[in-house]
Structure 1
Amino acid sequence: MRSNLEFSSLVGLLAFACFSLPSHAQSGDALLLSMREAGETKAAIAAAPPWASTSPSGEPQGYLIDVTNLALKGLGAPKISVSLTTWDAMIPGLQARRFDLVPAGLLITADRCKVVAFSAPITAQQDALHVLPGNPTHLTGYAQIAQNTDIKLAVLTGSAQEAFAVKQGISSAQLVRVPDIQAGIATVRGGRANAFAVGQFTVPDPQQKGVEVVVDNQAPIASMAVAFRKEDARFRDEFNAQLGFLRSSGAMKDLYVGKYGFPNWDVLAKVTKAGDVVPGCE
């Protein structure tokens, strides 16, 4: 996905060096002040490249990290420092104030909107089944799995895919719950599940990892966003203003398409218009 985009990536990186985000952080927001005092923005992620991960030296990296850090810079907030955790521990950790925000790759869902304040969307994708090469069981999506109780589906514990699978009628007995993406791939390759359900761009270089991607064309468009505590909604609004600038300046597109090579900017652009209600939180 990245191999033919080196030029776009270079253009994007040069663009970042030539602009600075306007500062909207003049309100004395309590969260902003606490992060400045600590000299860091504490964040929770899972090992989920290309969205978010850590380098061999422990530095946070990935598309979501880059976008979040650019928005924080515009607010005069420090860069994020990350703690690796599981998906189901992220929101409880946020509410317990172990983290300032969660840029981990959480999909916006109605249930999550009840307990956290999401930023505007910064990704767009459909769910996909990651299967063995050749798709030996000829799977096409959740609905087909629900009709065949012999099919096993691996899902991340606490993920939106787990909840959606249940809503689609897939029984709990069919679900193989795994702690991270690497375990999901290993479960399929080891024959303990027929497929692993996760977002269509979530597994980089899937062929090198021994799986094939089958997009569920019946699945809705889903978006990831940065999660904040409900009481930090004012800071979230200021963060959203920075995201609006990143969209209008072209910086977000430079990251999304140029640096990381995601092919569906037109889809993302439709769900990231400033002022829109966050999809899934209506």
Structure 2
Amino acid sequence: MAVIACPCRSFSNSLGKHMHSITRFTRNLLACTALGSSLLFTGMAAAKDWTTVRVATEGAYEPWNTTLPNGEIAGFEPELLKNLCARVQLECKLQAQDWDGMIAGLNANKFDMLMDAIVITPEREAIVAFSQPYAATQGVFVSSTPAVIASAPSDEVVKLSGDQNNDQATIDQLRSLVKDKVIGIQSGTAYTDFVEKNFKNVATIRTYKKSGEHMMDLNAGRIDFAFDDVTFFSSALLNPENQAAHMVGPKIGGPIWGPGEALAFRKGDTDLKEKFNQALSAALVDGTVKRLSEKWFKADLAP
């Protein structure tokens, strides 16, 4: 009788090894799934378990925010923040941070929220999430040159749409005002793009880290104009050292600056954004934003 060699041993070994691989794979898969689920639920819990919120502001943009001699940060935004944090029942720790590193610091988890007169723009919306706006303001030039001050009063308010065809007449008027002059502007703001886009081929533009720095150079005669927010200048021009400077040309508002100033959050912190959106809605409805705006700006800037 022929003997048929049955490869049962080798098959059994192969099968055993195969089953061992499957078992190990299954065990690893289950372990990874369990770990992923754990991380997922941990992340979800952490995202909703807010007790303390770290808030960055410049602390040098009066009257929005300013640092007092004792180190306390005061102004419209710190006072509004205190009100909002009480509404959401969270402890808010406010800290000063240079503007040019603020958004990067937010996305690097150095802070949880930004509150620094930040204008909503499409470019910023691509990298951070905004609350609804709590203010809407205007931009304007200032000068300390007597002839310019006399010839270009700032009693006019114009609204620019951002459409060059619609805005060209006003832009041409401003280009004539600043031609062959030096303009100072804080870097990285919504106003920076506006000034560089419309005046860099007729004027010299200098950028500064802080708005107070362009005021120093204006007073020293190193620049001819500064461009910034009306609310900043309304406060800055009350200081005796700035008494020679005056707003000149029209005050510029409208859609060109976007929807207005708002809180900024990391894209993933939707729950935190929603908490503050609800608090802002209540503060707008009950008149808190209007009251604080009139206290600090002498005008209602509620959007």
Is TM (by shorter chain) over 0.5?
yes
Match of 1:194 in 2: 224
Say which of 71, 89, 105 aligns to 1:58.
71
Are positions 1:108 and 2:120 aligned together?
yes
* Superposed displacement of residue 96, structure 1: 0.8
Structure 2: runs of 5+ lacking an equivalent: 1-43, 155-169
Could you list the per-position Cα deviations for residues 15-37 of structure 1 after superposition, in whole angstroms to 9, with x for gaps in the alignment?
xxxxxxxxxxxxx8745635x2x
Normalised by the length of structure 1, the TM-score is 0.74
Query: AA paired with 2:210?
Result: D
| Aligned positions, number | 235
Deviation by residue 1:223-248 (Cα, 9 ceiling, x = unmatched): 21111111112321221110111111
* 1:90–1:31 distance in 2 versus 1, CA, 3 Å: farther
Matched, 1:250 2:284: no
Q: What secondary structure is seen at the aligned counterpart in 1 of 2:221?
A: coil
Correspondence 1:260 to 2:296: yes
RMSD: 2.5
Q: Give the TM-score, by structure 2 length.
A: 0.69
Q: CA deviation at 1:80?
A: 2.6
1:50 is displaced (CA, Å) by 0.6
Q: How does 1:129-208 map to 2 (within 5 A)?
A: 129-132=141-144, 134=146, 136=148, 138=151, 143-147=172-176, 149-171=179-201, 174-203=204-233, 204-207=235-238, 208=240
State how far apart, in whole Å, the 1-side matches of 2:175 and 2:145 are. Answer: 22
Paired residues of 1:134 and 1:212 also in contact (CA < 8 A)? no
% identical equivalent positions: 23
Tell which has more relative contact order, 1 or 2 (C-alpha 8 A, sep 6+).
Answer: 1
How far apart are the structure 1 equivalents of 2:45 and 2:286? 26
Residue 255 (structure 2) pairs with residue 213 (structure 1)? no
Could you say if the C-alpha distance between residues 151 and 172 of structure 1 is closer, same or farther in structure 2, counting changes exceeding 3 Å? closer
Distance in 2 separating the partners of 1:151 and 1:212: 16
Distance 1:80 1:250 in 2: 25
SS state at 2:111 partner: coil
CA displacement at 1:177 relative to structure 2: 0.7
Instruction: Give the distance between the partners of 1:74 and 1:84, measured in 2 at CA.
Output: 25
**Partner in structure 1 of residue 49 of structure 2:** 33
- Which of 1 and 2 has greater Rg? 2
Partners of 1:192 and 1:143 in 2: CA distance: 24
User: Paired residue for 1:78, among 69, 91, 94?
Assistant: 91
Matched, 1:120 2:127: no
